[in-house]
Amino acid sequence: MPKSFAVVVRAFDGEAPYFQSFINHHRSIGVEKFYVVLAPGASPLCRQILAQNKIEPYEVEGQRVGGVWRSIQEDYVAVLDADEYLHPDLIKFASKEDFQTLAMPWRLTATLDDHGFLHDKKKFFVFPQIKSIMRTRNLAGLGLHQSRTRGDGLRLGIKEGLSFPVQHYYLRGLDDLLLKDGGVVPLTRARSMGRKPVSLGGDSKSDVTDFPSRHAKVAFVLKMLDQYPKVKDRYQLQVDTDMLSRLRECCESDPEETKVALRESVESIQNVFTQDSIENQVQKLKKSLSDQPRKVSFQKRVLKILRRDFNERQSK
């Protein structure tokens, strides 16, 4: 009997312009079931998209993905965010192989260009923050990046997962950042994850001291991407411009002015990272991924480098 596959994904209305693209991609590669976790009573635009696709949402307080664990009936499941896309060859591989878990690193890209998400050529780099696909019968609990499993079975690590990286569109343009950080949609637990405040302290010569952690991570990704060439993006992507327009109308301030401020925030943080640090990270990643790669916390790595570079610039 053929194996079946599912994804668990948290969503909020800020993802609405990009959510149909996520659904279309995963259906095209063989995902049969979507467990979409919404905050109770929230995200009317996402609910509209789900209804059009005949997908029933799951309401869970705090959008905890573990709330749908016992509902999953398919053979394998992956937990994703709506800006993460499974590799097109993953389902074929999992259909033929028998394993308990497979750890898949991120393949990151980002852009401040509102049209950049749809460009057929992009820059990418791989980072050993992982997402996993798990055999459902071995699950002991669901998590965002790594779930608990039990029992016997092959556990494939990042080295094997390098053949099937999760494509992470970390920023799909300034409109994407506007929807996440511009006060356009009500906060949910999932949407708040990138808003942890970061304070560098001191009298900044870089005109940057306090900002959401997401801005630091976007700035790091953009700096890293400068070190890589453009390659073809084989994924079929789309943006629902009607959904985007409806959301922009909800912006409490002028959306274009807000986007200018968001761009300035990200670019000011970019200026803190030193070229030596970025080049060093490129080499470290290359070496670690070619040896025995281990999971690395993306946020911790970014903030550690940022604070070190900030202090170095302050000391000069």
Tens-place pLDDT, residues 12-27:
999 999 999 999 999 9
pLDDT band at 206 (very low <50, low <70, confident <90, very high): very low
**Per-residue pLDDT band at 202 (split at 50, 70, 90):** low
More confident residue, 283 or 197: 283
Q: Return the minimum-mean-pLDDT range out of 32-46, 157-171, 248-262.
A: 248-262
- Rounded to 5 degrees, what are φ and ψ at 212? -70, 145
Q: Identify the H or E element spanning 194.
A: none
Q: Are 126 and 163 in contact (CB under 8 A)?
A: no
Residues 85 and 26: beta-carbon distance below 8 Å:
yes
Whole-number pLDDT of residue 204: 45
Q: What pTM, to 2 d.p., does this model score?
A: 0.93
Q: And the tokens for 127?
A: 């980072």
More confident residue, 211 or 283: 283
Count of helix runs (H) and strand runs (E) in the chain:
11, 15
Helix (H) / strand (E) element for 303: namely: helix 298-315
**Structure token digits, residue 132:** 């996993």
pLDDT band at 189 (very low <50, low <70, confident <90, very high): very low
- In the chain, % of residues over pLDDT 90: 79
Q: Which residue has the higher pLDDT, 258 or 196?
A: 258
pLDDT band at 201 (very low <50, low <70, confident <90, very high): low
**Other beta carbons within 10 Å of 183:** 13
Structural domain for 255, as ranges:
1-316
Instruction: Work out the average pLDDT over 279-295.
Output: 94
Domain count, the chain: 1
